[in-house]
Amino acid sequence: MAKKTSLKSKAVIVFVVTVLLILGALIASLGKLRDQVLRNEAQAVADQVVSFRSWVAGTGMVWVNKLHPDFNGYLAVKNVSETDRFYGKNPALATRELSTIANKTSTRASFTVTSDNVRQSANAPDPFEKQALKAFQANKGLKFIEQHEGESFRYARPIFIKKGCLKCHGKPEDAPAAVIEKYGNVKAFNYKVGDVRGIISVTLPTISFMEALPTLANPLSIGAIFLAFLLNYLFTTKLIINRLQKLTKDTKAIVSGQLNTPLNYTPPSDSNDEVDHTYHSVDLLKRSMLMVMKKMKRK
């Protein structure tokens, strides 16, 4: 049979396993924290889109005096004079133009507003967005969908049809002439209040494990782990193993006849330390040995 492992080796094994378990827990938490950070960022972007849309919706349309070559879409025209005209942009159109700018200039977040029944082909959904649309249609209570996709983090939030949307997304015959003229009478019509009209889709660069790692490898965490290691080491070696080794040595000396070997320990009346109690038992044994020997000498 193999020899039993020393307490020292056992303590090392227990310590290493403990460290690995704690590291595992930290890494798992790091993954959760990363998802939460990305989700918060995506939510903030989606909130901005919602605010922008409702700002435009609140005024009905935003009217611009000039069309930028890259952003030349409009739904209505108002002639102020022969040469001076204003172009009206409805919320969806204004949002699409904002998204075009954001996607071109921002280094992190990009967003689109898309649907499974797009009126504007430039808004067509990609596979993740199609999947999100299906999920929101199947479950109206679902607040958002998220997914890691290669280097990207994808997030989507549903947009529902409200009463005010029916003018342009309800029956085609109710729609403003400009809508029919520009987009026809087929695309994105016949919705009812409460239907999922589309989604706000946000894409962010994901945070890789290597990028998140410095969060763990900071002086505070490393210091705490080092201190834990030191405490464990001092406790098991100084307070248990070294004292047990000393006790073994002292006991062996007593057994070999050196009965005056001093036993250094705190008496049980003043100590709850188990090693002190073991020392005390050996001490009792030593004293009874001495008594037996004295009796034998007298005889």
Residues that bind ligand HEC (CB under 6 A): 73, 75, 90, 92-93, 96, 113-115, 118-120, 123, 159, 161-162, 164-165, 167-169, 179, 183, 188, 197-198
Per the CB < 8 A criterion, the answer to whether 40 and 63 are in contact is: no
* Alpha-carbon dihedral 230, 236, 237, 238, rounded to 10 degrees: 90
Count of CA atoms in the C-beta half-sphere (13 A) of 255? 7
Closest approach of Cβ 173 to ligand HEC, in Å?
14
Please tell me the distance from the alpha carbon of residue 193 to that of residue 77, in angstroms, as a whole number. 29
Closest approach of Cβ 20 to ligand HEC, in Å?
49
Cβ proximity to ligand HEC: between 46 and 188 the closer is 188
Cβ proximity to ligand HEC: between 94 and 254 the closer is 94
Cβ proximity to ligand HEC: between 110 and 236 the closer is 110
Kindly state the tokens that stand for 124. 């067509």
Kindly state the tokens that stand for 162. 């409200």
Closest among 113, 61, 65, 120 to 90, alpha carbons compared: 61
Please tell me the distance from the alpha carbon of residue 119 to that of residue 193, in angstroms, as a whole number. 18
Cβ proximity to ligand HEC: between 136 and 265 the closer is 136
Cβ proximity to ligand HEC: between 53 and 243 the closer is 53
Kindly state the tokens that stand for 215. 């969060």
Cβ proximity to ligand HEC: between 10 and 78 the closer is 78
Closest approach of Cβ 152 to ligand HEC, in Å?
21
Closest approach of Cβ 144 to ligand HEC, in Å?
16
Cα 220–Cα 222–Cα 227 angle in degrees, nearest 5: 95
Please tell me the distance from the alpha carbon of residue 25 to that of residue 254, in angstroms, as a whole number. 49
Per the CB < 8 A criterion, the answer to whether 192 and 178 are in contact is: no
Closest approach of Cβ 165 to ligand HEC, in Å?
3
Closest approach of Cβ 107 to ligand HEC, in Å?
24
Per the CB < 8 A criterion, the answer to whether 156 and 144 are in contact is: yes
Closest approach of Cβ 230 to ligand HEC, in Å?
59
Per the CB < 8 A criterion, the answer to whether 112 and 106 are in contact is: no
Closest approach of Cβ 191 to ligand HEC, in Å?
8
Cβ proximity to ligand HEC: between 134 and 148 the closer is 134
Cβ proximity to ligand HEC: between 75 and 254 the closer is 75
Please tell me the distance from the alpha carbon of residue 43 to that of residue 51, in angstroms, as a whole number. 12
Please tell me the distance from the alpha carbon of residue 157 to that of residue 197, in angstroms, as a whole number. 11
